[in-house]
Amino acid sequence: MDYSDRLAISYYKEVAVINKSHKIFLVQHVQTGKFYVKKILNVYNHDVYDFLFNNHISGIPKIQAMYEEQGTLTVIEEYISGNTLHEKIASTKLSAADIRSYISELCEILNSLHTAEPAIIHRDIKPTNIIITNCGHIFLIDFNAAKKYDPTSSIDTTLLGTEGYAAPEQYGFGAS
């Protein structure tokens, strides 16, 4: 048990529930007053979160602190204000320019993930996992299903992701 990581997590106090069933909370740092997101994960790849903690990638919420104990990972990450792409599609008509901009930014984020050593594969890209800020920039969230690429693996060992969005490889047809 790393007490310094546990202590770092203790500086964030829960303010509101974002998603009770997924254990996602809005928290506030007791000293700075800044808001963050706290996630309590039972399904995760520690190596992915460790990489994201140590290597900030533009377009992905910055991880401020994390603590792992008994198969549970608690993550504190940057709070991104905005709406999901799903909400944006439901409430407005997107222009061709907006769509091109979102796709371009998403490709830049994915390029950063895929050129990491080893590459990180998100495995659950869908409209609810893309946040559009008020300035029109996008952030990719929800790395619970992500994994580091292993060129020696021929199949995925665990089915993760969302039906209809997850790569076909995750259904036993190969490795993602």
Catalytic residues: 124
CA proximity to 45, closest of 161, 131, 152: 161
**Cis peptide, bond prior to residue 168, ω within 30 of zero:** no
- Give the burial class of 38: count Cβ atoms within 10 A of its Cβ; 0-12 exposed, 13-18 middle, 19 or more buried: buried
Determine phi and psi for 148, rounding to 5 degrees. Answer: -85, 140
Cross-strand pairs, 29:
12
**Structure tokens belonging to residue 156:** 């995925």
